[in-house]
Every structure is written in C-alpha cells, then in structure tokens.
A and B are shown apart, each in its own frame.
Chain A
C-alpha cells in the first residue's frame, strides 16, 4: 500500500471553456444599454385596477430565466412584498423557477438571500465532490490524471464535462423537505408552476406536480451545463429554451393582473461576442426565445426589468450587486406597485401571508426506497442506513450519507427525496449508475523524477458487484505498472488484490554528501488484503504480501563481489490504519492525515550470495495536520517516525529522507534540501513545520523547516550531530492540470537548490 500526494480534478475542461464564455458575455453586457419598456406597456393596462370590481383580482408573478442574473428576482421580490402585494400564483423558468419555487412554498426573500450568499457556487455547479467524502482509494485514483475518457460497452467516448447536477440536487432536495407531503404545486402556500423543455420534441412542458426539487432542477438544466432530467417520462432540459417567460400560462390559470420580472438580456448580438465554439453553440440553441417572449410580454401588466448590465448568466459570484439591482428595479416601479397594493387592500379578503419557512432538520423514517440501481444491489444501498422504521433521521446525516454514496464513484448521481408515508417520511434514494469505466491520461514533470506520462483505466463491477478494477501505467525514468481489484462495501469488510511493479533509480550518497554510485531498484509487490472504511473515512485493514525486490548497481562501486545485481523475495504480513480528512489534497487548509503501517517481513528466497538478515518488523507513522490560522494562513506540522526491529536490512524497507514529491516506497519521507534517498537508515525520526499562505485565489506561498535523522541503530537516533536540518520557500499554484510548485531550498547536507513540479503526482 503506498500513499501518495495526489490531486483531484473532474470536468475541468468544460469549466474553463465556460468561464471564458461567461467572461465574454460579461464584457458584452457592459457595452449594451438596456432600457425599460415598463412605461409604454403599463400605460395601457392601468385600467385593470377597476374600482368597480367586486371580487379581488388574482395576482400572478412571472420570473424569467437568466442564470446568475436571476438573483435579481430576490431583490425585486423583497420590494413587491414590502409594497404589500401578495401574489396568488407564481410561474418561473430556470433560475426564476428556483427563486419562485422557494418563495411559493414559504421561504422569505431574506432566507433565499442568505442561502445564495452562503453557497460556494463554483463547487455547487461543478459537481465537485467534497474531498472528505471521497474514499481513500478514490482519492488516490482521482488525484493523478487530468483528463479522463468514459468507456461504455461499445466505445470510448469523448470527455465532455457533463454535470449531473449532484450538488445542486442535494441542495434543492433539502430546501424542498418541508413540502414533501404536497403532491400538487397548487397546494403550496402560493400555487406554483415551472417550465421545462422536452428535449425529444422541443415542446414546452409545464411542471405543476410531483417532486419540487426535481422540477426546479429540470427547469434549470441548461443544455451545455447540466444533464437533462427525466420528469414523468419526459426528458427535460432548461425551460428557457422554448419558454423563458411563462406569463401566458399564468393568464390561463386565471390571473387577472400579472407582474413580471425579466432578467434576460434583450440586446443584439455582435460578432465579437460569438468568437468561441461554446458561445456559438450556446447562441445556436437559443433562437426560439425571442418570438415567444414577444407574445409573453403582452400578458404582463407590471414589467420590472432590472438593469443587470455588466453581469452575465455565469456571474454567480456577484450575487450582492445583482440582488441590489433587482431591488433597485423594484423601487423604480414602487409608485405603481404601491397603487396596486392600495387597490388590493380595498378588498376585504386580502391578506399578506407570513413567510418564515425553514428546511426540515429531522424527520421520522417510514421506509427507504431505492431506485435507478441496476448492478449495485438494493440491499447494499439500504444497508447503509443504520436507522430503522420509526427512528428519527437528521437531514444533515442523510445528506452526508448521500454524498458518500456519490463519493464512491459508482454513480453519476445519487439524490434523495422524501415522500409521504404512513408513519413519517419515505426516503426515496435515486441513483444513476456510472459508465462501465474510464481511461485517464496524466502528464507530470518534477526535478527529482523528471517527466512522466500516466495512462490509467478503471472498470466497475467486473466479475463481482461493488468492485473496481484499476490499472496504471507510468512511463518515465522510473516506470511503474499496477493493477488493483477491490471491493468497495463501506463499513463491511472488503477484500482487495493488488499487484504493483516499479523500477526506481537512486543515487548512493556516502555520508549523505558525496555521490558515489547509482542503483536501480525493481520491486514487485503482490498483495491480498481486507479493509473496512468508516463513514468518516477511516480505513483499517491488513493482509499478506509477496515482494520480489532486486537491486542493481548501474554506476560506481558494486557490491564488492563480482556481482552487480541481487534480488530478495519476501513474504510479509502487514496492517494499516489511514485517515485522510484534508479538505484539499495539495494545499490543505484544514484537516489531518494519519498513516500508520506495520510490516512483518520474513525472507522467503534469496538470490545472489549476499546475506543481510532474516526477519524484521518495520513500524512507521506519519501525522500531517493542517491547522487553519484565519482564512488565508495555515500551519502544517508533520511528524514521521520509522522504526525497524530485527536484524534484517532490506533496501525496499529502508527509511529515507529527501526528495520533494512522490514516494515510490513507504519509507520515503520528503525533506527540504535533500535529494531523493540522500539520507537513509533503518530508523528514522523527522519533523516538519510549514507555514502556508494563500496569497491570491489559487496561489500559495509556503515556508518550510525540516529536521530529522536516520540511523541504523535506534540509540543513535537522537545523536544530534548527524541530524539534518532543511529549509525551503515554495510558491505553489493549484492549476487545472494539477499543482505547480517552484521551490528554493537548502540544508546542512546540500547547498541551495531549486525544485520544480508541474502536474498531478503519480
């Protein structure tokens, strides 16, 4: 088992394209002057406030789609509510359906505002899995490649960054918990409908019943961003494709007066705005809208058009300004809204509803229903619930469980919804299983090991259910090949089989200073193990391994005898305990990482005529902690101990200090200012203190001090004269192709040297 520093990335390419697209939209909006139609349109409709009318007119509210610009709805809603207007029906598309839906079920505009502010929109929209929810095996696999191609039974597909909307679905499910007993949206505090587009036929589909979270998610399934959603047998994408302003639908439902908030941009397109593939595709998919809007506009009596110049559909970070602009647009129409409110108050049955809804925190479990699974057995998924019928479930715990199911990477998406049951709520767990497998590609360079190309593959559920089969092939100066077949059954003990081979060159330093020889070590490790992974990502396991280790002298003094190569075969027993709670795999801000290993080595066969020993027990422990000091600073202490009991001397189980990155052997500890393998011994003690500062966005600066010692005799471990002191200063950048690090460092064993790393480790 080797633990490496690795990086995770998923769907980065499209994200990058999108951000470029969004930037260009921003720039465009700046150049366009928006003007309001409100005066011309409203003038002819003012007669709707008919004083002779007997019954109270029904008020409808329509909220358009427009991505992040839809945050303006929140500001406008505040003004409408504060003016004293209660609406009787709400219709929305895309972001309008999100804001409108939440308002309709009883959340206050203030609640929605807080919600918007508290989200990390990038993570939410990018389906980023919380690193802590990833299983340890997944952390290893996912943090080493930068591009991954899905494989189905028939073919290898292109890596189009599809977002299954996992995170947004989870959020919406939680927000919809209070209304889980309502089947029809008409029964909400305010009746509600939202619009989706049936992708097969292009028809506009009104969603007025069923699961609210799903309805909102479907309505905002922008074709180039989110996957479509199946609602009642129809595959739906963003309603904005065909009906971005469902005013007519409100009129059809008996609304007499319709207030519309429109955050769409109505400017003309320029060639300069359409200079990239993404913007051209996006534009090509949106031709329908204009004509439809023109008819929709006729139904609107109070037209509020926030001036959102300068922001685009992707400006999710600018929620403050956008909400403010919505509020401002509302206030510009205040006098008219006021007169509407006065008119409405003249009716005796008029009242303002109280909106103070909060999401549910817990509920009583009736039962669990699992849907969508084809390969993974229902029982396996149900078994993840410790709770029984009648138990109280915290929504927070349920969410963590769902994230963990998603984090197992057997699924494209895992979501839940609550259904009314006889004795509480039925949890409907809906999963969509992932493709058969994927093929990944990684590139890497660092000054210690030079450039490398990595080719990985992973297949799910081969031979046995709940299993993953992975292969890695690393082409570099130190080539390696590995395959791994293991079960992922969570807490239940799971077996694993792994075979790894690597070849690794290192330089022999005499007294830690002079390079006198170069060796190449080849190691084949075949192991069988059992492990169990807890919900908190603690993994505990052990097994047996066979190790064939050979050492060859390439340059310099050989082993003395007329023999420059020897090999050993071991038969080992091992046990491990690993915890990884880092929030970020390369520049963690919070969380700890513990790695305990014990290996009992028995020599099985031996080649050559060297004889180093017979049996040994090797223990090692590493604790690496990230302590946040405010939002930018992180203190990262690390302690490593390695002890060997017994007489054997095994090259592959030596403890070494030096090198900055990947560790081919479990005994290798990175150390500033030392070359790979520069200090080695059977006993090791090392400590590191690193101060990390996040200077700007994804840029970091780190100052590191290392101290440590390696010896062949435990009693010398604290002999201070031989110990190494290293120091280093590093600039790091977390890029889409992995971390980029540049260091300057030195130690009492080596003069000042530089170090460069580009890309994910593997």
Chain B
C-alpha cells in the first residue's frame, strides 16, 4: 500500500525534514535557472504526470516550483512533499481507487448495530426538518481525504507550501466569488482535496470564507501562477480532456459539464502560451474515470516524455541547464509511524458532544499512537454514521507540541431509507425505514421499519450502545405471515401467524465486533383462520423468558464475504401458555391449552476459509436444544426453505418446504464451496446436514437424519445480491428452485 515508508521504519517520532542537503545542492549549481512545473487536472488521466516526471528526473531536471490543479495537485503535492516518484507510482497502482473515491467505510469499523445499514437499503436520504435534503455531491470524499491526510502527515509541520521540499501550490475555484484561488498555505491535504472536488461528484470544501470546487473549472493549467512565483522557465504537462465538439454533445450531462468547463477556456489558452516545454501525453481512449487503468496511463505519460527526450534536451541546452541530482527512489523525509500526542482538539461538532467524540476516539494527551491506529479510530468514528466527514490534521504548537485536530461534519439527525426485494417465498416487499442516531440518549440509536409485502412487518428498535461501558436497548417486532396446514400432502387450511416479540436488554459491546446482551423477552404467536373449510378460534402462545446472548461478527461484508467469521450463541429460560388446535377423528376442532416451562440453548457459527484467490470453503454450524415440560410448536427448532424469516428458532434448509421439519434438538452442520468466477459473480455448491431429535423422550442416538444439496449462482449487484438456487433432498426428494433479488430485510 501507499504507506510503504511506514512499514519500513520501526519506531518513531517526528523529525523535521532536513532541507540542508537540498539547499547546498542548489548553492553549488546556482547558475542553473529556476524551473517551474505545471500539472493540469483531468481525473485519472492525471496518472500520466507520474510517467512524465520519471523521465524529467532521468534527464536530471530538478524542478523548483510545482503548481497543479485537481489530479495535477495530487501528484504535484505528493512530489513536492518529498515522495519519490516511484513511491507515488506504487501508490497509484496499489490503491483501491474504487474504495478511495467512495464514502464507504469498512464493515469492521461500523458499530454492531450499524453493520446492517449499508447492506439493507437501495437508497438513503437525509432529512432536514420535514424535507429531504439533497446532498452537495455524490460523495463527501471521506476516504480520499483520509488518504491525503495520511500521505501529508510527514509534512504536517509545514504551514507554508513554499517551505516544502519543492515549493508548491494548487488551484481551486471559489463557488461564492466565482474566482480561481491559489492555495499555498494551511492544510495541504485539504487544499489538494479542494483542488480535485469536481462539482457534483464531490461535495465542495469549506475553507474559511471560501467554498471550493475543482480548480479545473476556471484554471486547469496554472502556468501564470507558477511563472509569477519567480521561475525562469516553465515545463507544462497537460492531460486535460478537451472541450466537447458540437457533435459530441448528446445529453444533458455533457451540456452541463461543457457549460461549466467553458469557464476555464480563456485562461487555459493564455496559460498555454507561457510554457517553454509543453508535454501533452496522448491518453485517449482513457477517460477521467479510468482509475483502474493507472498502469496504462502512467505508461502513456512516460512514453510521450521519452519520445520528447530530444526536445527536452534541446530545451535544457537552450537554457544552459546542467543536470542536477534528483530525488530518484528516495523519499526526502524520514518515515513517520508513531505519534506522541500532546493535545487533541475537536471542531465542527454541534449536536454531538465533545465528550462523546473524546470517548469514541479514545486518544488522549500523553498517548503514543501509530498513524495506522489513528486512522482506524477515525474510521470507527466515521463508522458511527453520525458524520458526513471526519478528518484530522496534525500540527505543532510554538513550543513544539503535537496537536491532533479532528474536524467533523455532522450528518442529519434522521435518515429515510428505502429498500426493495423479491424472492419466491415472500414475493416482493418494500421497506421504509427511519433511523436517528445519537438520539434521545448519548449513543442512542432509533430505527423504525415498515415492511409492505405479503409478510407485512413493523419493527422498532432503540439501542444505546456505549461500547465497553454498559448500554441498554429495547425492540419490538410485529409481523403477520400466512401459513398452511397439510392433510395427506394436500393443504386444507390456510391461517395467519400473527407474531409479536419484544426484548428489553442490557448491553456490552467491544470493538464493534463482539456484543453481549442480557435481558427479558416476551413473545406472542397467534394463529387465526384465513381460508378454511373448518371454522376455528384464534389460538395463542404467550411466553416470557430471560435470555443471554453473545454475538461476534467479523465478516468483511455480509453478502459473499471474503474473510472473517461469525458466531452467535443464546441461552433462554422461560415459561408460557400455549393452545394447540387439532381435529379429532370426526373432524371436530379440538383445543388443547397447557402451561409449560423451558430452557433452550442455541448457537450458530460461520467462517470463511479462503482456499485460493477465487475459491473459498465456508463451514457453517447450527445447534439448537430445548428442554421443555411440553413443547409447543413455536418453541421447536424448525427447518426448511431457502429464505430466512423472523420466526424464532427457524433455520433455512433448502430442499425441504418452509418449516417442514421440526424437533427439539437439532445439529445442523453445513459446508459450502464457493467459486468467484468473474468480478462479483459467484457459484456455490452447498451440502446441508441435519440430525433432528423429534420426541422429547428420545435420546441423541435415535435421531432422524436429513441431507440436501444446493447449487446457486449469485451476483452482488449494486441493488443487492441476486441469487438463483436449486436444492434437492438427498437421497430422494423434489427439486426446489428459488430466486432472490435484493438485500434481505
């Protein structure tokens, strides 16, 4: 990764850049004219700058001033800070740009109750008062900001960009005044981000009284600005995409983008004239979005520069430039791994209290913390979903103390989320969800679900997750699901299961991974008549139980995980009253009401064992045992079907019908072999085994055995997983098919 320099060094503290070597080099060759380097913007095409700079270094050109816009600011900024161009190349090649240019946060950094969030909805909207608030950009740029901050840490004590290894500035466009602004002091990471905040893609950057978007809107090639800093000659690298020609404009986006980038056309043309050595790599057909093609784009830059070596040499001769010692593959600063923290400051929080931030961040004055650890903490803070942006900046006070300043931008209190899915079992369903965070109590999270579909559901949950300090929570869920009863394989009666469950619990969680709960639950299941040739009254099962559970969730993603494991274990002690309905010999409905008490233990374990790049084995184990004075159906372990449901003690078992199998002791190992055959497409073969003890009096060796196999194709689409499955009981049984589209909820 980009932090190669971090890994190399073992420990330590902040050492200022030593500029001595550089200064002396300059003195010994003082007759060399000062050369400025102008790097234009152009998104991913800007990787070509790297290739060009490599060749310039090979030719012994040691530029004095670098000015850049957008991607030119990224490459130019890193180069000016002192990164070797080879390190920058490595960074460009190894970075997961898909992630960096997104606001996604790793699942492991999300709170126990936030994990589900990003794997449930088709889209989410913030609410401002009663209105839906439209975001200022497709992304806020959290990850790109964190990347830039991390990379800029070695230069953290430099306030004025002219004091960097090479004097540097970048251009941004102020939306308020409509003018291009030269950024050459302050937070360099933020300056670079401002310079690359393409309107609509990224949210603009607030900076004092400015409101910045991509500098390329007005000044994509800041040659004049470099010239004005007292350079004698200019080398310009232009990788910008030209304006659309008339016949290329076919849609509204092009019209709009053209209208925006027309603003910069005048200054661009003027700036071109100032350049003494102009290099324009041929990068087509790669576009500004081809971040995955960094490799090829860098080569395009290098290729063009090599072709131009005669011109470059002629230019150097014409200005009597003697080759200088260049940086080569050495970074011009010592690596920085660990930080001694003197002060921690917070900025931008309004609704969220500072003490909350302090505790969540868990970095205090006097701590020695690694940059990696600090980044993790920032990600965890961001993972609370309370903020649009969380970033930090290191600085140094007058007396040499190190300050970490955390800036947050708060998200709206309420989010409105919409989900949709379809599967063969529950058919189409729509989900409307309202989530509020840091609501009521500190760390309080309220989530209300309304599911419209064949299985209508209402659920509300309020949890105060204080991490390692005790928290508490309560939830309730109510749903209605049709059920069928069979008579000689023919369904004769359909009924509704009305289920109402509520929990109240105390809670402890650790590192967003592990949570313990201890609480009390009440459950009511009501069976009521729907389509039936017999008339019967409603029959209830009401029970209450003390429960304790533990959950460990270490998956990297919920659907098609690549690594991690999951464990859930639960113990219950309870009692209840149940009414069973049955028919006697002469088809009269009879009711049997009884009290019972029970104790139950269950656990579920899944893990991922990666075999090879594309292959993985997923072992999976489920166990359930209930000891009851008399066992009502709703407390039994129930199996069958492809899709999970909200019934208690229910587990899928493809190859059998929904809830076709039940009993009191179940041992259910499963194993899957998964092949990721192309991008996000998967093939999975799975074997399901079940040993079920039906009768309370039976001992473990008198079990019934069930086996089924399952084949499925899955695709992880942006709208959620799409899976097609078929399953069959072994050795004999009917083949069942299933289709599922969209996230579960």
Q: What is A's interface to B at a CB cutoff of 8 Å?
A: 17, 20, 157-158, 160-162, 197-202, 223-224, 227-228, 234-235, 237, 241, 268-271, 274-278, 280-281, 283-288, 290, 443, 445, 450-453, 475-477, 507-508, 515-518, 554-558, 564, 756, 758
Min CB distance A676 to B, Å, is 13
Contact assessment for B262 and A241 in the assembled complex, using a CB-CB cutoff below 8 Å: yes
Min CB distance A697 to B, Å, is 15
Contact assessment for B420 and A443 in the assembled complex, using a CB-CB cutoff below 8 Å: yes
Which residues on A sit within 8 Å (CB–CB) of B429?
A: 451
Tell whether B311 is near chain A: CB-to-CB under 8 Å: no
Which residues on A sit within 8 Å (CB–CB) of B173?
A: 284, 287
Query: CA separation between A271 and B175, bound complex, in Å?
Result: 8
Contact assessment for B249 and A228 in the assembled complex, using a CB-CB cutoff below 8 Å: yes
B233-282, CB < 8 A from A: 243-246, 249, 251-253, 255-256, 258-260, 262-263, 265
Contact assessment for A274 and B211 in the assembled complex, using a CB-CB cutoff below 8 Å: yes
Query: CA separation between A347 and B453, bound complex, in Å?
Result: 81
Contact assessment for B259 and A241 in the assembled complex, using a CB-CB cutoff below 8 Å: yes
Min CB distance B61 to A, Å, is 35
Counting from the closest, the 3 A-B pairs by CB-CB distance are A202-B262, A287-B178, A451-B428
Contact assessment for A202 and B265 in the assembled complex, using a CB-CB cutoff below 8 Å: yes
Which one of A20, A200, A518 contacts B243 once the chains associate, using CB atoms below 8 Å? A200
Known contacts A223-B259, A228-B255; 12 additional CB pairs below 8 A are A157-B251, A160-B251, A161-B252, A199-B246, A199-B259, A275-B136, A284-B173, A284-B260, A450-B453, A453-B428, A515-B531, A555-B491
Contact assessment for A271 and B218 in the assembled complex, using a CB-CB cutoff below 8 Å: no
Q: Which residue from chain A places its CB closest to the CB of B453 in the assembled complex?
A: A451
Which of B73-81, B199-207, B360-368, B604-612 lies at the binding interface?
B199-207
Tell whether B15 is near chain A: CB-to-CB under 8 Å: no
Contact assessment for A758 and B452 in the assembled complex, using a CB-CB cutoff below 8 Å: yes
Q: Known contacts A270-B176, A276-B136, A515-B531; decide if A284 and B428 are in contact (CB<8 Å).
A: no
Min CB distance A195 to B, Å, is 15
User: What are 26 A-B interface contacts by the 8 Å CB criterion?
Assistant: A161-B252, A200-B249, A202-B262, A223-B258, A235-B249, A237-B255, A269-B176, A269-B177, A274-B175, A274-B204, A277-B135, A277-B200, A280-B213, A283-B178, A285-B256, A287-B178, A450-B428, A554-B491, A555-B484, A555-B493, A555-B494, A556-B533, A557-B533, A564-B490, A756-B452, A758-B430
Q: Which residue from chain A places its CB closest to the CB of B132 in the assembled complex?
A: A20
Which residues on B sit within 8 Å (CB–CB) of A445?
A: 430, 452-453
Q: Which residue from chain B places its CB closest to the CB of A160 in the assembled complex?
A: B252
Tell whether B319 is near chain A: CB-to-CB under 8 Å: no
Which residues on A sit within 8 Å (CB–CB) of B177?
A: 269
Tell whether B422 is near chain A: CB-to-CB under 8 Å: yes
Which residues on B sit within 8 Å (CB–CB) of A228?
A: 249, 255
Which one of A161, A269, A277 contacts B134 once the chains associate, using CB atoms below 8 Å? A277
Tell whether B427 is near chain A: CB-to-CB under 8 Å: yes
Q: Known contacts A160-B251, A277-B200, A280-B137; decide if A224 and B256 are in contact (CB<8 Å).
A: yes
Query: CA separation between A223 and B261, bound complex, in Å?
Result: 13
Query: CA separation between A234 and B247, bound complex, in Å?
Result: 10
Which residues on A sit within 8 Å (CB–CB) of B211?
A: 269, 271, 274
Min CB distance B324 to A, Å, is 40
Query: CA separation between A271 and B209, bound complex, in Å?
Result: 9
Min CB distance A650 to B, Å, is 23
Which residues on B sit within 8 Å (CB–CB) of A162?
A: 251-252
Tell whether B9 is near chain A: CB-to-CB under 8 Å: no
Q: Which residue from chain A places its CB closest to the CB of B214 in the assembled complex?
A: A284
Contact assessment for B178 and A290 in the assembled complex, using a CB-CB cutoff below 8 Å: yes
Which one of A223, A287, A453 contacts B256 once the chains associate, using CB atoms below 8 Å? A223
Min CB distance B141 to A, Å, is 14
Min CB distance A144 to B, Å, is 15
Tell whether B696 is near chain A: CB-to-CB under 8 Å: no
Q: Known contacts A160-B252, A200-B246; decide if A281 and B200 are in contact (CB<8 Å).
A: yes
Which one of B218, B252, B490 contacts A287 once the chains associate, using CB atoms below 8 Å? B218
- Chain B 449-488: CB-based contact to A (< 8 A → 1; otherwise 0): 0001110000000000000000000000000000010000
Which one of A237, A453, A507, A758 contacts B259 once the chains associate, using CB atoms below 8 Å? A237
Q: Known contacts A274-B204, A277-B138, A477-B427; decide if A556 and B531 are in contact (CB<8 Å).
A: yes
Tell whether B345 is near chain A: CB-to-CB under 8 Å: no
Min CB distance B238 to A, Å, is 19
Contact assessment for A274 and B532 in the assembled complex, using a CB-CB cutoff below 8 Å: no
Min CB distance A627 to B, Å, is 34
Which one of B133, B252, B427 contacts A450 once the chains associate, using CB atoms below 8 Å? B427
Query: CA separation between A20 and B135, bound complex, in Å?
Result: 12
- Chain B 523-546: CB-based contact to A (< 8 A → 1; otherwise 0): 000000011110000000000000
Which residues on B sit within 8 Å (CB–CB) of A443?
A: 420, 430
Tell whether B741 is near chain A: CB-to-CB under 8 Å: yes
Min CB distance B21 to A, Å, is 44
Which residues on B sit within 8 Å (CB–CB) of A278?
A: 134
Tell whether B320 is near chain A: CB-to-CB under 8 Å: no
